[in-house]
Amino acid sequence: MELTDRPRRLRTDGVRSLVSETDVRAADLIAPVFVDATTDERVPIESMPGHERVPVSESAARVREIMETGVEAVMVFGIPESKDERGSQAWAEDGVVQRAVRRITNQTDAYVITDICLCEYTDHGHCGVLEDDARDDPRLTVDNDATLELLQQIAVSHADAGADMVAPSSMTDGMVGAIREALDGAGYENLPITAYAAKYESAFYGPFRDAADGAPAFGDRRHYQMDPANAREAMREVQLDVEQGADVLMVKPALPYLDIVSELRREFDHPIAAYNVSGEYAMLHAAADNGWLSLEEAASESLLSIKRAGADLILTYFAEDIAERI
């Protein structure tokens, strides 16, 4: 055979790394941090091996542990002391995230992003103010416009506490524009917004709801999170967030929606983020525990595929493990 092209020439040791097209760096990764106002000690998250809820008093110490691996950014989630129908602890000055962010920003150099949502704070577990009779009528759910004012209050309270970036995740129509208006009005014109721009109603969120105590008390979130069947709708959702002032565009989950990540990369010049969610993390651990695959290799390959699809940033529970090996 007289082959002109022999791709294997560039797969030998030495040259293989020189022609590698994609890499994952520690600086690409964001590590989630769960801060729990109901505990005085660290509590392991059973469904997410290697992760735990930490008390407010240890929030900065937890972030320092993360930073020792080379990861520079964290996303803070909170579990409040109490919940009510409107989720009022979400914007309280002495709320769990607000107290944790003040500690973290005062004691570390981490880049601190905060999740803006109400599901962890409402006694019904939904991501906003309920429509009348929503508990009894499956056709009803969250009152979109009534929720916007609460999201504005949460964002400003996080900015006041010292957050470097806010990330609204409720998939409320108009949330980016409302938050941008509130931040600008409070003097935070330069504080960026990462929009959960294409967040799907996914079966892969189960372990997170255990970690953040945010499962719906009734019904589901199909009326405000996206249908997994829809790709064109994602482009419309993202375009709306861009028009409203989003600085970073996030897809959630990551691995089942790499086509969406790739399409966003082609269509938009904004930084693209992807959330490698709890179910994606937990299933690899479960398979590894059964001896079916190498956890280290599968985790690395998963994050590499997300970067290859076009993500600039990856929010992942593997952040520390991967960063330590880079």
- Please give the positions annotated as active site: 199, 252
Could you give the angle at which helices 278-289 and 295-309 cross, rounded to 10 degrees?
Answer: 150
Return the residue matching tokens 């949460």: 154
Alpha carbon distance 257, 151 (integer Å): 26
**Nearest partner of 47 among 315, 298, 277, 304, judged by Cα:** 277
* CB 100, CB 35: distance < 8 Å: yes
Residue at token pair 């999740």: 115
Could you tell me the CA-to-CA distances from 313 to 61, 199, 218, 250 in Å, in that order? 24, 16, 33, 9
Structure tokens at 3: 């082959």
The widest CA-to-CA distance across the chain, in whole angstroms, is 75
Q: How far apart are CA 122 and CA 118, in angstroms?
A: 6
Report how far apart, in Å, the C-alpha atoms of 31 and of each of 14, 65, 277 are. Answer: 32, 11, 11
Residue pair 93/156 in contact (Cβ under 8 Å)? The answer is no
**What is the Cα–Cα distance from 311 to 22, expressed in whole angstroms?**
11
Residue 280: other Cβ atoms inside 10 A: 22
Give the sign of the dihedral formed by CA 85, CA 126, CA 117, CA 69: positive
